[in-house]
Each structure stands twice: as structure tokens, then as C-alpha cells.
Amino acid sequence: MGGEATELTRLSAAEIGIAVAAGDVSAVEVTQAHLDRIVAVEPELHAFLHVAGIGALAAAEAVDRRRAAGERLGPLAGVPLALKDVLTTEDMPTTCGSKILAGWRPPYDATVTRRLRDAGVIILGKTNMDEFAMGSSTENSAFGTSRNPWDRSRVPGGSSGGSSAAVAGYEAPLGIGTDTGGSIRQPAAVCGIVGMKPTYGGSSRYGLVAFASSLDTPGPLARTVLDAALLHEAFSGHDPRDATSVNAPVPPVVAAARQADVAGLRIGVVSELSGEGFQSGVQSKFTEAVELLESLGAKVTEVSCPHFRYALPAYYLIAPSEASSNLARFDAMRYGLRVGDDGTRSADEVMSLTRAAGFGPEVKRRIMLGTYALSSGYYDAYYGKAQQVRTLICRDFDAAFDQVDVLVSPTTPTTAFPIGERVDDPMAMYLADLCTIPSDLAMNAAISVPCGLAPEDGLPVGLQVMAPALADDRTYRVAAALEAALEQRWGGPLLAQAPALGESKGR
């Protein structure tokens, strides 16, 4: 790999956008550099399920033509991106990490996909994920596990682990993930990058293959807070094709990321989301970051959210219930896989055989859980009760946001865990989302920003900032302030401390 190409993959999205608009570099050169990087490091990371080499270069050529014709380009024109394979793309397969969708070509683009293309963003390909976004490690993918760029024997988190590994591994400066219970923030935290879950309804679900419709939210992954904000602005905003889309202006996230100041801001540390059960290095890096925010002028207090301890159990009733209903559409007739259709079997038999062969064990577990929770006789005791808990969690947030502007916690209880460690223990796997689930249930905004390396294992730790619905900009303001102060302390970005990848090839 040439030195110049390596340099292009080190640039931030903001820098690439400026360089392309100024004509200092072509979108094709930038795209080719990232495709080369993918070739070099994919054997180590397995972040992608599909790479769109020719399609990406054609999109880049189109950007270069627009510039040559004198068109003013937007801030992300010519910037490469890794798209989670749960959003539809008319020119690429969409598998959701499942065998049941193998070979399916969606006939249309998701709104997020479409808006990215319109912004001149170059979609490099589709990234690996836990099957139907159910998981915290990408180990539930039917197509193999992605690896953490910091330590290839560990998971990159999930379910948006492919996009996170791609961004942390410099295969793309930007990624799209989706967050239902933490699937953007959790992988971002354990890969040492920025991940943001917008307010529910702030980003469109049209063309997002549904897991739990009352929770699913697409959002940005990036190496810097500003890049995440630029991406957030590029694909967010009202979409008449999504009935739960919020009809309100996109919060001023880019301005907030540039403001990067916490003077006078009231920050609440959630007492229920730290302490016992948290890895010591996660706890210590989190505490240091909070002290740093205080030294920057924030007013820090401790805030109790007593019902957060019931968030995880409530989520594991609500999300599987919605999933069991959403996944009924995979009936062997409409999409992808069809097993046993030899003319001797009934449609019911073909459907059973197809679902048995096409869904992995975690998806089957969720369907059974959800079907049980929704069955008559149990509905009130499980699904109904979980919805009541959801309301109590929203009230905890409301009460907290009467006292403070944002809440903070560690993003995850531990750093990236070893591949294989939790695959046979669903409860241990579910605990990875302990801190992220409350914001999904309450449909508000939350970001994860790197806050250091845990001393005991040298792996990244994330700090989570939560804000009220539609106050997404506040999370960026705090994250950007923390990022700037920490980078001054570290003498550069955290990712600069990650080990080199792709070296084995050339040497």
C-alpha cells in the first residue's frame, strides 16, 4: 500500500469533504484508497459482508463530475461510508446477517441510503452485524464474526460491530449503525470511536429491516464527534414514508459539535449506572472524564433513576415481542431462502422448514420469548407489565432532566470481551447493553464518546451522554468538549494508540 493512500484513509470525514470540494483530491482517489485499505485489512477484521467496488467508484466519479461542472458540493460529498446490512440498497444485497435473506435484492433504497447518496456520500459496502441486529458482538451473524481492531481475539461489539470495526480500522471514516438497545453506542465504545443514537423518529426507519419498531433508530458512527454530527445532519429529518418520523427540524448538531463547551452545563451522573459489576478500568476512566468535565466548568451532581434497574428485563420482553411479530414476514414466499419446496409439501411445511433452516439460535430464542410474552393469558403479566416499566423509566428521565441538562454514565460495563466468551450465556451477552437500553426505551438521544483505555487490558472505554428527546445537540456539545480536552491530554486521538493492521501483508 502506498504511503499517500494510507494518509487518505487517516483523514476525518470533515477533512475529506473540504479537500474534495476544493479539488485538492478527487473522490475517486479517496474511494480507491479506502477500497485498497479494505483489501489489506479485511482478512483481519471481516467488517464487510459486501464490498461495492465498482459501484463505489462510479458514485465517486459522479461526485468528481459534479465538481468539474462547477456545482457546489456538500460537506460530505466524496466521503466513503460503511453501511450496516440492515438498511436496504437497490444496488446491493441486504442480508441482515441472516441466511434467511441470502440472495435477496431489495427493490428500493432506504431513506437513509437515499439521503446519503444525495449528499454525495460514497457507500463502500454493507457491513456485518448480529442476525437481525439481535446481539452485542456480531457473533450472531450467519456469516462469521467481525473482529475488534484493537485486539483481533475480541469482539467489536454489536449489533453494528461491522460498521464500528470498519471505522475504527480506517476502512471508512464514517459508518451507519442502528440502535434498538445499544447497538450503535456499545460497539462504538468498545472500538474506541463515536456512536450516536438520535432521538427516536429523528432518523427514518423506511427501508430499515425491522427488529423492534418502537425502538429501532439509525445513527452515525465516526472517529470524531464533528464527523458524527455532519453525518447525523446528512441523513436525519422528517420522512413522510415513516409514520413515526418526527416532524420537527433536525437539532443543530453540527453547531453544537463545533461549540464544544460545557461551561455552566448541569451534568447528572446516574447512580444506578456505575459501581458494582463494572470493570474497574471502565469505572476509573469514566470518573476521570467526569472530573475533567467539571474542570471545564460543568456543574456535576449525582442523580438517581431508580427504575433503570428494570430496563434490561423490560427491554427483553418488549423487543422480542415486537420482533416475533416483525419476523413473521419471513414466510419462505416473499423473501430470500425457500427450503423443501419440491411440490410434495404444503406452504406451512415449507415455511417451517425454511424458518428452521434460515434463522439462527438467538433469533429463534427471541421469537419464542416474544410469542410467549404476547400470548393470551400472559400478555398482561409480561408485555403489559414491561410497558408499564417503560413508562416509569421515562418518568425517571423526566424527573432527572428537571434537575440537569444531560445525564452521563459509562457506555458499557466492560471493555471488549473475548470472542466466544459469552456465546453460550445469553444473560451475560444481554448485560453489555445495561447502560444503553434506558435511552432506547425512553426514545431520547444518547451518544458514546471515547474516554480512555482501561489500564488492566489497554482497551477503549466509552462515556455515554444522554439528553431529552430532540435535544440531540446537547449530547454533541458535551461529547465534543470532552473529546477536545482528552485529546489535549493524550496528545492526539485515542485511536492513534491502536495497533497497526494490514502489516502482515506487505512484510
- Just list the catalytic residues: 84, 159, 183
Least Å from the CB of residue 247 to ligand GLN: 25
Least Å from the CB of residue 364 to ligand GLN: 14
Residue 159 contacts ligand GLN per CB under 6 A: yes
Q: Which is nearer to ligand GLN, 161 or 268 (CB)?
A: 161
3-state secondary structure at position 151: strand
Least Å from the CB of residue 182 to ligand GLN: 5
Rounded to whole angstroms, the Cα distance separating 364 from 356 reads 8
Least Å from the CB of residue 217 to ligand GLN: 9
Of these, 80, 106, 120, 135, which contacts ligand GLN (CB under 6 A)? Answer: 135
Binding mask 297-336 for ligand GLN (x = CB under 6 A): ----------------------x-----------------
Residue 443 contacts ligand GLN per CB under 6 A: no
Total Cβ atoms within 10 A of residue 105: 13
Residue 131 contacts ligand GLN per CB under 6 A: no
Rounded to whole angstroms, the Cα distance separating 190 from 461 reads 6
Of the candidate spans 54-62, 177-185, 286-294, 412-420, the one that interacts with ligand GLN by CB under 6 A turns out to be 177-185
Q: Count residues contacting ligand GLN (CB under 6 A)?
A: 13
Which positions ≥6 away from 503 have C-beta within 8 Å? none
Per CB under 6 A, contacts with ligand GLN among 366-395 are: none
Residue 127 forms beta bridges with which residues? 48, 84
Of these, 109, 131, 171, 179, which contacts ligand GLN (CB under 6 A)? Answer: 179
Which positions ≥6 away from 214 have C-beta within 8 Å? 200, 244, 318, 322, 443
Of the candidate spans 91-99, 130-138, 141-149, 484-492, the one that interacts with ligand GLN by CB under 6 A turns out to be 130-138
Q: Which is nearer to ligand GLN, 258 or 365 (CB)?
A: 365
Residue 181 contacts ligand GLN per CB under 6 A: yes
Q: Which is nearer to ligand GLN, 89 or 137 (CB)?
A: 137
Residue 141 contacts ligand GLN per CB under 6 A: no
Phi first, then psi: give them for residue 489, nearest 5 degrees: -65, -40
Residue 155 contacts ligand GLN per CB under 6 A: no
Residue 217 contacts ligand GLN per CB under 6 A: no
Q: Which is nearer to ligand GLN, 135 or 173 (CB)?
A: 135
Q: Which is nearer to ligand GLN, 341 or 421 (CB)?
A: 421
| CB-CB contact of 182 with 172 (8 Å) | no
| CB-CB contact of 149 with 498 (8 Å) | yes
Which positions ≥6 away from 59 have C-beta within 8 Å? 27, 31, 117, 120, 122, 123
The whole-angstrom distance between residue 42's C-alpha and the CA centroid of its chain comes to 19
DSSP notation for 77-89: TT-EEEEETTB--
Q: Which is nearer to ligand GLN, 30 or 133 (CB)?
A: 133
Residue 183 contacts ligand GLN per CB under 6 A: yes
Residue 174 forms beta bridges with which residues? 81, 222
DSSP notation for 88-137: --TTS---TT-GGGTT---SS--HHHHHHHHTT-EEEEEE--SGGG--SS
Of the candidate spans 178-186, 242-250, 264-272, 443-451, the one that interacts with ligand GLN by CB under 6 A turns out to be 178-186
Per CB under 6 A, contacts with ligand GLN among 417-436 are: 433
Residue 133 contacts ligand GLN per CB under 6 A: yes
Q: Which is nearer to ligand GLN, 75 or 135 (CB)?
A: 135
Residue 136 contacts ligand GLN per CB under 6 A: yes
Residue 206 in grid coordinates: 423506511
Of the candidate spans 19-27, 41-49, 179-187, 281-289, the one that interacts with ligand GLN by CB under 6 A turns out to be 179-187
Q: To which H or E segment does residue 406 belong?
A: strand 406-410
Of the candidate spans 25-33, 134-142, 290-298, 391-399, the one that interacts with ligand GLN by CB under 6 A turns out to be 134-142
CA within 13 Å, CB half, 299: 6
Residues in the chain: 507
Of the candidate spans 97-105, 133-141, 335-343, 461-469, the one that interacts with ligand GLN by CB under 6 A turns out to be 133-141
Residue 85 contacts ligand GLN per CB under 6 A: no
Of these, 31, 128, 180, 199, which contacts ligand GLN (CB under 6 A)? Answer: 180
Side-by-side strand order, sheet with 266-270: 48-51, 122-127, 80-84, 174-179, 217-222, 194-197, 445-453, 460-467, 406-410, 266-270, 299-303
Rounded to whole angstroms, the Cα distance separating 131 from 145 reads 11
Rounded to whole angstroms, the Cα distance separating 441 from 437 reads 6
Q: Which residues bind ligand GLN (CB under 6 A)?
A: 133-136, 159, 179-183, 211, 319, 433
